[in-house]
Amino acid sequence: MGQPTLKTLFWHRFKKNRLAVIGGIIVFLLFAIAVLAPLIAPYDPSAIDVKHVLEPPSSKHPFGTDDLGRDILSRVIHGSWISLQVGFVAVGIATIIGIIFGALSGYYGGWVDRISMRFVDIMLAIPTFFLILAVIAFLEPSIWNIMIVIGVTSWMGVARLVRAEFLSLKEREFVLAARALGASDFRIIFRHILPNAMSPVLVSAVLGIAGAVLIESALSFLGIGVQPPTASWGNILTIGKDNIEIAWWISVFPGLAIFVTVLAYNLLGEGIRDSIDPRLKI
């Protein structure tokens, strides 16, 4: 038998990590719930029913209702779609910016590297959440603005990872051979080096989704994120805060949704990281 491929080794390691598998299953279920939200939500998440205000969990409303009689289960389900959008789009933006900065910095080195990394250091010195708050203060609160702001303030870790990989890979034989054959810098960077530097970026992206979900929930909780009547886990928690003494369910269920989502993405990200680590034994 021949040597096992990297893909085979990855799956072998990943399947042995039970927590990672559980995280992957939960992430898949959350993705399915988010995509199918209009079909599986029992009620319109914005439908007001003054006859059933602040009802506790029951067979009719498994997660209870809020101060306007809206079904919490339906709002939590629809809120998962908001979290999915924010997580993937924000992380996508951050990953693209980080790859560009890190690739140019690591490949060219010299003054390009020094200027790029000093800019990264400056960005890292500013607390990300407060930077986001400052930017959001000048913009209209909307889901697209939130996704863009989270993305453009969260790319520094990706840039450092990509830079480190490029510093190691640019001196390898296959890069020297491509350069000797007259390949352009653009082709070497994006065709030869970048595909071999994507493993840590993938891990960072999965973990970054959890962070983006937390940031969006925090912004919505503060009232500067997703605006009502659009359902978001954060703005459901805001209503729960105002009624915590008489309606615990409004805070508990969206809080659990945030906890489970962040935990699942972290378990999956850690599992992927362990599975692609060449130092691990099979």
Contacts of 92 (CB under 8 A, 6+ apart): 151
Asked if the structure places residue 58 within a domain, the reply is: no
Q: In this model, does residue 44 exceed pLDDT 60?
A: yes
Percent above pLDDT 90 for the chain: 44
Q: Which CATH number belongs to the domain containing residue 113 in this structure?
A: 1.10.3720.10
Q: The pTM is what?
A: 0.87
Q: What is the pLDDT of residue 243?
A: 87
Determine the Cα–Cα distance for residues 202 and 185; give it in Å rounded to an integer.
24
Q: In this model, does residue 1 exceed pLDDT 90?
A: no
Q: What is the pLDDT of residue 277?
A: 66
Q: What is the pLDDT of residue 130?
A: 82
Q: Please, which pLDDT band fits residue 63 given cuts at 50, 70 and 90?
A: very high
Rounded mean pLDDT of the chain? 87
DSSP 116-156: HHHHHHHHHHS-HHHHHHHHHTTS---HHHHHHHHHHTS-H
Q: Are 163 and 113 in contact (CB under 8 A)?
A: yes
Q: Please, which pLDDT band fits residue 280 given cuts at 50, 70 and 90?
A: very low
Asked if the structure places residue 110 within a domain, the reply is: yes
Asked if the structure places residue 64 within a domain, the reply is: no
Q: What is the mean pLDDT of residues 137-144?
A: 78
135 or 38, which is more confident: 38
For residue 143, which of 207, 198, 95, 88 has the smallest C-alpha distance? 88
Asked if the structure places residue 59 within a domain, the reply is: no
Asked if the structure places residue 11 within a domain, the reply is: yes
Asked if the structure places residue 54 within a domain, the reply is: no
Asked if the structure places residue 48 within a domain, the reply is: no
Q: In this model, does residue 281 exceed pLDDT 60?
A: no
Q: Considering its fold, how many domains does the chain have in total?
A: 1
Which ranges of 222-248 would DSSP assign to H, the alpha helix? 233-242
Structural domain range at position 175: 6-41+69-276
Asked if the structure places residue 144 within a domain, the reply is: yes
Q: What is the pLDDT of residue 251?
A: 92
Residue 64, by phi and psi: left (phi above 0), alpha (psi -120 to 50) or beta?
A: left
pLDDT digits (tens, 9 = 90+) for 162-212: 999 998 888 888 888 888 888 888 888 888 888 888 888 988 999 999 999
Q: What is the mean pLDDT of residues 147-173?
A: 90
Q: What is the pLDDT of residue 93?
A: 94
Task: Give the three-class secondary structure for 71.
Answer: strand
- Does the bond joining 229 to the residue before it have cis omega, within 30 degrees of 0? yes
